[in-house]
Every structure is written in C-alpha cells, then in structure tokens.
Amino acid sequence: MNLSERKKKILSAVIDESIKTAEPVSSKDVQEKYVRDCSPATIRNELMALEEMGFLSQPHTCSGRIPTTEGYKMYVDELMQVKKLSKKETEMLRDSFDNHLVNLDDIMQKAAKTISDATNYASVVYYGIASEAVVDKILLVPVSKFSTLVIVSTDLGIIKEETSQIVASEEEMMQASKILTKVFGGKKLEEIENGYILVTKELARYKDIFDTIIQIITKRDNDISKNMAVSGKDKLLDYPEYHDIGKLKNAISVLDKKELLYPLIAGDGDLEISVKVGGDEKLGIKDCSVVSATYKVNGKTIGSAGVVGPLRMDYGKVVSILKNVTDILEENITSKTEKENKDEQK
C-alpha cells in the first residue's frame, strides 16, 4: 500500500513516540514533537486515515493512537532508520568480549548476554556448521582401552569432538585416521550426509569406524538446544505489554522451546538481517517480534543471533547492535579457527 510522504512521516512519529513511552500517542504529541509544519487538524485527519488503513488503532475514543502489527510491519519495511551506535557504545560491545575465550559455547553465551544487556530484550545466539564446510582431517585418539576420541576438523574449525566406543590398537587408530582423512578430506559435509562417499577396499577394513564417523557427522545438528544460548528472559518483565500474563507466557514459551526458536532466528535465505513482526502464526507465536542477523566464517553462514521482544521494539537500535555483535562474533570465531588450524599443523 502506497502512503503519501506526510502519512509516512506521521506514522513514523506515532511509532517512534510509542516506542519511547508505551502510551497512546495524541495528535498534539505528533505536532509538537515531530511534525511542526502541519496543523493539529491536518494531523488528526491523517491519523484517522491511517487508522482506517489498519496501521493504527485507538484503544479508547478519548485516547490517542497506538500502532497495529501492520503499522509496525510498514515501519520496518519502509520507514525505519538503522541507528548508528556511538563510538562509546561500539567500544562497550567489543570490550564485553573476552579475547581469551576459546570454547565456542562460552563465546555464544557471552554474545547472548552482550546482546541482551545492550538491547534490554531477551536474546538468543545459535551456531551450527554450514553444509558447505569442507572436511580437512579426521583424527582418532585413544583415551582408554574401550573408548576413542573422534575429532572431525573442517575449514571452519573443529566441528565435532565425540567419544566413541571404538576398540582398536593405537597403530590401527593412526592408520585409520590417515585413510579416513584421505577418503573424507576435501569433501563437503553435505556430500557425506547424502552418502556420496565411495567405500574403497582400503576403507572396508575399517567399516565399523567408517559407520561411526558417518553417524557423528550426520547427527551434528540434531540437538539444536546444545548449539543455542539464551539470555535475558527476565528483561521482558520490564515492558508493560508483558504484564498481561497470557502474552508473557507466550513469549517465555518461545524462549523455552528451542525447536520453535530456531526457525525464527535461522535467517531467511541470503538475508543478513531478518525482522519478523508479530512472531510467526504458523508456529503459534504472536504478540512478540524477532529480529535476527546471520554471521559467517570464511564466507559461509554458520549461525545467527536474535532478539525477542514486544511489538513495540526499538527496531533501528536492535538491528545496529546485532550487526555489530555478529561482526565481533565472526572475528572471534575466525580467530579461534585459525588457532585450531595452526595447532593441528604443529
């Protein structure tokens, strides 16, 4: 739906003021704070028109207007301005990360807390491994008489360290590692997952080990909860929208059910930033919005970070914070990957 420039300006004013105050916005507020070149009567007429179009609603006949879900969608699609963070804000985000963190889970937890603290909304950070990741090497390290540590290394770093009940001598482990690396090396994970691996005579000797490696790789993303960090659920209580118990339960259930949360923040195709205003009706999620940003390593998308909050979210600021944090995440994980690769070469 095409809006005149004046209607866009007035709708944007109502939403900006609503985000700040959480109160219905009057024509007087719009005229005095945002649109001084229009008369109060003109603004009242435009507000009525925007209400008829479905972008605003009036809770009570004597009160001001509040944005509807459609109003927020129009705002995000056409009116929102991404807020540039100050140098101090950017430095605070960067300083919140400990450069000594090497465990991926710790990095994710730190990222989730940083986003939640900076936005004052609930946050979630997910990491997976792109199917395009290319296997570098496979190592079998005996840890006891009846167990072996299986390490699968790719161009995006180590994707799996798992203890398995593989029984073999140390010499057999070394030989199997060489053969498995020769067979799997240079192959994309999706090729392995889809069964595009030729079982040679050489590999047939290690069929049990081969089958174990296949299982480890193909189940790498089955348990989404292990790859997800959530922070700041309690921050939702700061918003009057969630004084409604029903709305609060819905938002908390989204954050507690990670199988629902994943499709919300996983990203839309090649989009770096995704905004879902009003949740997702197909998933039974409403009365909240989700903003997410993907992050990459070596040009491959490996995860995403998101914010869950009320419809009355400061979208412009959230997008800017997510973009900054995902940039920092990319730097941290890239540095971790490079260190792992150097350690393997020693």
Count of Cβ atoms closer than 10 Å to residue 102 Cβ: 13
Q: Which position has the higher pLDDT, 323 or 134?
A: 323
As given in the structure block, the two tokens for residue 202 are 């050489």
- Find the radius of gyration of the CA atoms of the chain: 25
How far is CA 297 from its chain centroid? Answer: 15
State the pLDDT confidence band at 188, using cuts at 50, 70 and 90: confident
Pair 217, 165: CB distance under 8 Å? no
Q: Which position has the higher pLDDT, 281 or 175?
A: 175
With a pLDDT cut of 90, the percent of the chain lying above it is 39
CA distance 240 to 244: 8
Amino acid 225 reads S
**Mean pLDDT, residues 50-58 taken together:** 95
Amino acid 328 reads I
Pair 265, 305: CB distance under 8 Å? yes
Q: Give pLDDT tens digits for 294-312.
A: 988 877 788 899 999 999 9
Residue with tokens 């150097």: 342
Pair 1, 22: CB distance under 8 Å? no
Is the pLDDT confidence value at 195 over 80? no
**Mean pLDDT, residues 282-290 taken together:** 76
pLDDT value for 35: 92
Q: Which position has the higher pLDDT, 27 or 128?
A: 27
As given in the structure block, the two tokens for residue 129 are 């491994």
Distances (CA, A) of 111 to 93, 94, 160, 328: 9, 10, 21, 9
CA distance 72 to 66: 10
How far is CA 123 from its chain centroid? Answer: 8
Residue with tokens 């507690």: 256
Amino acid 254 reads V
pTM of the full structure: 0.79
- Tell me which of 33-37, 130-134, 148-152, 324-328 is least confident: 130-134
**Mean pLDDT, residues 41-48 taken together:** 95
Nearest to 123 by CA among 337, 278, 288: 288
Q: Give pLDDT tens digits for 123-162.
A: 999 887 666 678 888 888 888 777 888 888 877 666 666 6
Is the pLDDT confidence value at 210 over 60? yes
Pair 137, 181: CB distance under 8 Å? yes
pLDDT value for 23: 93
Nearest to 71 by CA among 7, 21, 28: 7
CA distance 149 to 172: 14
Domains of the chain from N-terminus onward: 5-79 (1.10.10.10), 87-128+224-345 (3.30.450.40), 135-218 (3.30.390.60)
Which residues are bridge partners to 308 per DSSP?
122, 290
Nearest to 85 by CA among 258, 318, 291: 318
With a pLDDT cut of 70, the percent of the chain lying above it is 81
Q: Which of 61-70, 71-80, 190-199 has the highest mean pLDDT?
A: 71-80
pLDDT value for 62: 73
For the chain, what is the mean pLDDT?
83
Q: Where are the beta strands (DSSP E) in 8-112?
A: 56-57, 66-67
CA distance 174 to 89: 50
Q: Where are the beta strands (DSSP E) in the chain?
A: 56-57, 66-67, 122-127, 135-144, 147-154, 157-164, 228-231, 273-276, 289-297, 300-309
Pair 186, 196: CB distance under 8 Å? no
